[in-house]
Amino acid sequence: MDTAEFIRILDREGRLLADAAERAGIDAKVPTCPEWQVRDLVRHTGAVHRWATGYVAEGHPSRRPLDDAPALDGAELLAWFREGHAHLVRTLASAAPDLECWHFLPAPSPLAFWARRQAHETSVHRFDAEAARGGTPSDLDPRFAADGVDELLRGFHARPRSRVRSEEPRVLRVRATDAADDAVWTVRLTQEPPAAERGETGDAECEISGPAAQLYLSLWNRVPFPSVSGDRALAELWRSNSAV
């Protein structure tokens, strides 16, 4: 997927998030994030959007803390979210391809990183907002969902802060059943951060599989795993320790 595709998805997902939050009501509980109400979800995602915009707009070279959201509520909070989301989309769409700024996962370029990361950040939280609203959630394109699985496994959990560790070496397979032929990952768990690679490399003790969208949301701990075969304790090890 290219940067323009990620920006289009970010635009769609942010709009859907705001609409779902409005329909759910700012006081509604978020079942996928039990400690949050919808206002917390909107404040968090809106703050992340502005944080990301700052790196791209200013070319900032080092990490900065996430600013707190303003003390807004109700319609004012939703308007603040929509304004910040639209500004992020415009900033990414107009940024120079050779932009240089801080980013925290491997990527072809800083611009590619921020477009991809914000598309996935917003997509997962859009699902949260729709869970609070109730009803059928919006569809996710299988290619985009498979990309999100890749970002999570080979990006987030490759970092030292990942808590998914095993005293004894273990091998987990993750397979999207409706995406590209190579939408399968082999994840090696040791006392070090998980080492994930694309492809079916060697035997695995456990496989988590299913449609890419369900797999994506399950690995982000939003829904149950679609299907687990083999040693279910290994899937539970992932579930219990993989919060990002």
Stretches where the chain sits below pLDDT 70 are none
Residue 156: per-residue pLDDT: 95
Of all residues in the chain, the percent with pLDDT exceeding 90 is: 96
Q: Tell me the per-residue pLDDT of 134-181, one tens digit each, with 9 for 90 and over.
A: 999 999 999 999 999 999 999 999 999 999 999 999 999 999 999 877
Rounded-to-integer distance, Cα 185 and Cα 173, Å? 6
Rounded-to-integer distance, Cα 171 and Cα 180, Å? 22
| Backbone phi and psi for residue 77, each to the nearest 5 degrees, phi listed first | -65, -45
Residue 179: per-residue pLDDT: 82
Rounded-to-integer distance, Cα 154 and Cα 149, Å? 8
Q: Tell me the per-residue pLDDT of 74-98, one tens digit each, with 9 for 90 and over.
A: 999 999 999 999 999 999 999 999 9
When the pLDDT of each residue in the chain is averaged and rounded to a whole number, the result is 96
- Give the side-chain half-sphere CA count within 13 A for 115: 27
Residue 73: per-residue pLDDT: 95
Rounded-to-integer distance, Cα 1 and Cα 10, Å? 13
Residue 145 has which token pair? 């969902």
Rounded-to-integer distance, Cα 99 and Cα 140, Å? 29
What is the model's pTM? 0.96
Residue 153: per-residue pLDDT: 97
